[in-house]
Structure 1
Amino acid sequence: MMLVNHLELALIESLGSGVTRWESKGGLAFIKIENSLATCWVSLQGAQVLSYIPAGQPDLLWLSHKMIDRPGVAIRGGIPICWPWFGKAESASLPNHGFARTAQWCLDDATVTDFHRLSFSLASNEYTQSMCSRDFHLSLEVTVGDALGLELITKNTGDARWGVGAALHSYFAVEQLSQSMVEGLGCSAIDVQTLEASRFPEVFVPNPGLDKLFVEAEPLLTLHQPHSLLHIEQDGYNTSVCWNPGELGAAKLADMSEDDWESFVCIESVINQRQEAIWLDSGQIHSLSQVIRYTPV
């Protein structure tokens, strides 16, 4: 049970076939999904997928053993949802990557066939209005089977037109960063910190201290490791981001051990609002998605 390695958990209730609700000592609530194809954990804070373990395989996602077990604090690892902006906020009083990842979401539905499909939602409320005065409805559809699927759907439920940024900020576990390669990112990248443009080979080798926007990323990305391939299908994005803090960056993060940087790489499907926001009129929707599939080699 993956989260037991990090947190002290108590089983609260069964929500149907293969779906249970757990709660941590610190007050975070989690949904565990089990079927013959995979096991998955999702935090109700942020509707954040924290673990996806295909049957007989390792966990495809990385989660920090130093994650902070406290409501309102962002969870380091898994697949955080960045919304309604990606990156730094325009005001120092607002959280980086938006508020969706620290808001409490609702589990609306769980259906079971050969796999599980769960629906989570977040709507504008007093908490969100204090940071962003727009009316919206977010839903996240999570499919747990021989692949992990996530579809983040944004709907404008107000009268005014507004633009949105977002990301599925996926932390992928790797055997060793130096032995990993990513195919499909394209050859053109922009450094997030310096905004300098650079060119890379078609097969990109992630390096420590990496933070780059790949503006020509393809709909199918492949993370190559010595013993596996991880295929990441993405849609609804305008940028892919590849990030790793390196030793110096990890040392500055309270919820990460200094050597954690060697065991993950973030490959993110992003709507970068500074590049081009997605604009929604009243009633319009937008979908941002990833499908993650593991192949041993």
Structure 2
Amino acid sequence: MGHSATAWDQNSVLEVVKDWNGIDQVVLRVPRGASARVSLHGGQVVSWKNERGEELLFTSSKAIFKPPKAMRGGIPICFPQFGNCGSLEQHGFARNKMWSIDYDPPPLRNDDGKEKVSVDLLLKPSEDDLKCWPHCYEFRLRVSLAMNGVLTMISRVRNINGKPFSFSFAYHTYLSVSDISEVRIEGLETLDYLDNLCQRKRFTEQGDAVTFESEVDRIYLGSPNVIAVLDHEKKRTFLIKKKGLPDVVVWNPWEKKSKSIADLGDEEYKQMLCVDGAVVERPITLKPGEEWTGRLDISSIPSTHFI
């Protein structure tokens, strides 16, 4: 089914509502109180709350909630291009397109079988899309919320074209933090990274954690499948688990760049941090009939529980 729940009354945990532009949003809820909201515009997760109703994703106070522009915040899907690494618009077109609910998705292999509520979305190219990126594909996205509040996103891109094509990808995740200067990322130490502030020159991370004192815009390469974002003031840790996503993009615009971003408040860089599971350095190439899968699991736990 295009949306499903395990072990609960589906009507109580999944709801389709209209946003202020009349666009469908799917609301996922679990009995303990956690929730997530997914917009059909861009297939974008626009909200993820824990069981206490606390918003875990950042959304700019100046975000533009009107298609075709993607909302500044949540988790936009970057496909088939990340950033400006290609001929397409910034971060590709998937985040600006209308998706549909996928009522008959093919089964997921290696599904963990845990209790969760899910929605499946589908994106296919329009005739206009084929003019700027002439490749036929099916992009299936499953967004799930587990009983314990873990948010899972599984993307499947299939080549239904007669020739190979390549793409880059990212879950452009805007995390809500208390104060960026009090946040650290663990799991990226000793890794090589490409620094977008230095024409993508390659460096090696020297610190025992990634911390923030100025603008950061990096692509960490060959990253582990689990990293942690520690927010000391909120005593909260985001655990990010990923599969099929070898790179991690870390971005905070800091003060100067924030003032040049129209849909971001001048001081809001202090409350946000982007940590993206991504495929950037070595794009995925799919032959006809092949499929790629990229999975992201995000959980929020008290920092005292993190070892």
TM-score w.r.t. length of structure 1: 0.88
For the residues of structure 1 that align with 2:225 and 2:69, how far apart are their CA atoms?
32
Superposed counterparts of 1:270-281, under 5 Å: 270-272=278-280, 275-281=281-287
Which amino acid is the alignment partner of residue 201 of structure 1?
Answer: G
For the residues of structure 2 that align with 1:29 and 1:163, how far apart are their CA atoms?
30
Q: Is the 8 A contact 1:28 1:70 kept in 2?
A: no
Match of 1:289 in 2: 295
Q: Is the 8 A contact 1:86 1:97 kept in 2?
A: yes
Match of 2:84 in 1: 88
The SS at the match of 2:132 is: coil
For the residues of structure 2 that align with 1:95 and 1:292, how far apart are their CA atoms?
28
The SS at the match of 1:138 is: strand
The SS at the match of 2:95 is: coil
Which one of the candidate residues 271, 276, 297 is aligned to 1:268?
276
For the residues of structure 1 that align with 2:242 and 2:45, how far apart are their CA atoms?
16
The SS at the match of 1:17 is: helix
Q: Is the 8 A contact 1:28 1:69 kept in 2?
A: no
Which one of the candidate residues 176, 180, 191 is aligned to 2:195?
191
Q: Is the 8 A contact 2:193 2:218 kept in 1?
A: yes
Which amino acid is the alignment partner of residue 128 of structure 2?
Answer: Y
Tell me the CA shift for residue 35 of structure 1: 1.9
Structure 2 residue ranges without an equivalent (≥5): 1-9, 106-113
The SS at the match of 1:249 is: helix
Which amino acid is the alignment partner of residue 86 of structure 1?
Answer: F
Tell me the CA shift for residue 57 of structure 1: 5.4
Which one of the candidate residues 57, 68, 72 is aligned to 2:68?
72
Tell me the CA shift for residue 259 of structure 1: 0.6
For the residues of structure 1 that align with 2:138 and 2:104, how far apart are their CA atoms?
19
Q: Is the 8 A contact 2:224 2:246 kept in 1?
A: no
Tell me the CA shift for residue 33 of structure 1: 1.6
Match of 2:242 in 1: 234
Q: Is the 8 A contact 2:26 2:119 kept in 1?
A: no
RMSD over aligned Cα, in angstroms?
A: 2.0
Q: Is the 8 A contact 1:185 1:216 kept in 2?
A: no
Match of 1:21 in 2: 16
Q: What is the percentage of aligned positions where both structures have the same residue?
A: 24
Q: Is the 8 A contact 1:83 1:98 kept in 2?
A: yes
Tell me the CA shift for residue 279 of structure 1: 0.9
Match of 1:118 in 2: 119
Match of 1:150 in 2: 153
TM-score w.r.t. length of structure 2: 0.85
Superposed counterparts of 1:90-239, under 5 Å: 90-91=86-87, 94-109=88-103, 114-145=115-146, 146=148, 147-187=150-190, 188-194=192-198, 195-198=200-203, 199-226=205-232, 227-239=235-247
Task: Describe the superposition over 1:83-107 as per-residue Cα deviations: whole angstroms up to 9, x where unpaired.
Answer: 011110533xx31110000000011
Give 4+ residue runs of structure 1 displaced > 4 Å after superposition: none
For the residues of structure 1 that align with 2:162 and 2:102, how far apart are their CA atoms?
25
For the residues of structure 2 that align with 1:201 and 1:181, how far apart are their CA atoms?
11
Tell me the CA shift for residue 156 of structure 1: 0.3
For the residues of structure 2 that align with 1:105 and 1:90, how far apart are their CA atoms?
23
Which amino acid is the alignment partner of residue 243 of structure 1?
Answer: W
The SS at the match of 2:25 is: strand
For the residues of structure 2 that align with 1:53 and 1:281, how far apart are their CA atoms?
39
Judging changes above 3 Å, is the alpha-carbon distance between structure 1 residues 258 and 245 closer, same or farther for their aligned structure 2 residues?
A: same
The SS at the match of 1:101 is: helix
Task: Describe the superposition over 1:172-196 as per-residue Cα deviations: whole angstroms up to 9, x where unpaired.
Answer: 1111101100011232222113222
For the residues of structure 2 that align with 1:208 and 1:65, how far apart are their CA atoms?
22
For the residues of structure 1 that align with 2:300 and 2:60, how far apart are their CA atoms?
21
Which amino acid is the alignment partner of residue 166 of structure 2?
Answer: G
Tell me the CA shift for residue 109 of structure 1: 4.2
For the residues of structure 1 that align with 2:95 and 2:64, how far apart are their CA atoms?
14
Which amino acid is the alignment partner of residue 98 of structure 1?
Answer: G
Structure 1 residue ranges without an equivalent (≥5): 1-14
Judging changes above 3 Å, is the alpha-carbon distance between structure 1 residues 110 and 18 closer, same or farther for their aligned structure 2 residues?
A: farther
Task: Describe the superposition over 1:114-141 as per-residue Cα deviations: whole angstroms up to 9, x where unpaired.
Answer: 4201111101221321321000000111
Tell me the CA shift for residue 285 of structure 1: 0.5
Q: Is the 8 A contact 1:88 1:95 kept in 2?
A: yes
